[in-house]
Amino acid sequence: MPISNEKIEQMLASIAEMKAAREQEIEEMRVKWLGKKGEITQLFDEFRTIDKEQKKEFGQRLNALKNAATAKIEEMRAALAEIAGPATASFDQTKPGDVFQLGARHPISITREEILSIFGKFGYSVAEGPEIEDDWHVFSALNFPPEHPARDMQDTFFVQPGGDNPILLRTHTSSVQVRTMEKMRPPIRVVCPGRVFRNEAISARAHCIFHQVEGLYIDKGVTFADLKQAILLFAREMFGADSQIRMRPSYFPFTEPSAEVDVSCNICHGKGCNICKGTGWLEILGCGMVDPAVLEASGIDPKVYSGFAFGMGIERIAMLKWQVKDLRHYFENDIRFLRQFETAI
């Protein structure tokens, strides 16, 4: 049918009467009027073929028709959205929910908490110190001789080398025993957890960053027998009530005498397996009686007081407890690895 005023009037009237209850109906109406083959679109196609005089007559009216249809469709959409409410209009209630992925506590945190809680039961409190330390607290006050290899660039990360008291990243948490002795008077009973740094190549058995817990007990009349008892009780809490310990003579500049402590293998119970390399024993820590020179350097009179100290690697304790074979797992943050430990204690 050719363009005529009558036709445009009819179309305007039917557009004004349009009603829709659903989004889909509105879309159908849009296609009917304004789609590629819609009635208004067809009128525009026709409009191109008519002569100049008629173009003048119908141009404005056709535009008005198109605007009326567009406005009506918008109006119906808005009305529908208002009835449906903003959330339900696009919310599919049958869609499965997104699963919220829970993380897990890190095995190093779990082990640290367990070590601290065991010593907490023995009356030890927690002390902490800085990771960026000076030479005095990491080496000199702990009786390290000036030429000791740990003071070498190859073993220690220096922040500010040179001078009387270089600044460095602590290589052990024994520095916190010095800071504690400077601040507190005996009796002292502390455990000092923390991160330590050594210039090591990263491998399955070594890392340049790891964690330690240092222990310190100073009072009148503390003996090696007290040290042995404290370590035995700790080993039994940590690795099982039937655990045994053995002490091997060792050397540390800050303790005299010094020992390394092994615990009976918690896998084969002393029979020998590949975890304990057939020996039945696993090394867990270093310890000893605090050297009188160390007490004196921090202002505690060695003629009145004595004490013991011990230090253990948290990664190592966790490895022995759970048979983790590669130290690097601790640093990769793979949730499949981390999830294995939460329920293990």
Kindly list the residues in this chain that would bind ligand DAH in the complex (CB under 6 A): 172, 174, 214, 252, 255, 286-288, 309-311
CB 324 → ligand DAH: shortest distance, Å? 20
Q: Which residue, judged by CB position, is nearest to ligand DAH in the bound state?
A: 311
DSSP code of 151?
Answer: G
Task: Determine the 3-state secondary structure of 49 from DSSP.
Answer: coil
Q: Which is nearer to ligand DAH, 193 or 311 (CB)?
A: 311
Q: Which is nearer to ligand DAH, 69 or 213 (CB)?
A: 213
Determine the Cα–Cα distance for residues 310 and 250; give it in Å rounded to an integer.
Answer: 12
Alpha helix segments (H runs only) across the chain: 5-17, 23-34, 39-47, 52-84, 107-121, 135-138, 174-183, 224-239, 292-297, 314-322, 329-332, 335-338
CB 141 → ligand DAH: shortest distance, Å? 13
**DSSP count for the chain of H helices, then E strands:** 12, 10
CB 205 → ligand DAH: shortest distance, Å? 15
CB 109 → ligand DAH: shortest distance, Å? 20
Q: Which is nearer to ligand DAH, 193 or 288 (CB)?
A: 288
Q: Which is nearer to ligand DAH, 72 or 291 (CB)?
A: 291
CB 319 → ligand DAH: shortest distance, Å? 16
Q: Which is nearer to ligand DAH, 173 or 243 (CB)?
A: 173
**Sign for the pseudo-dihedral over CA of 338, 263, 291, 118:** positive
The beta-carbon contacts of 14-22 under 8 Å, at least 24 apart in sequence, are 15/65, 15/68, 15/69, 15/72, 16/68, 16/72, 18/72, 18/76, 19/76, 20/76, 20/80, 21/80, 22/80
CB 250 → ligand DAH: shortest distance, Å? 8
Q: Which two tokens stand for residue 342?
A: 């939460």
Q: Which is nearer to ligand DAH, 40 or 285 (CB)?
A: 285
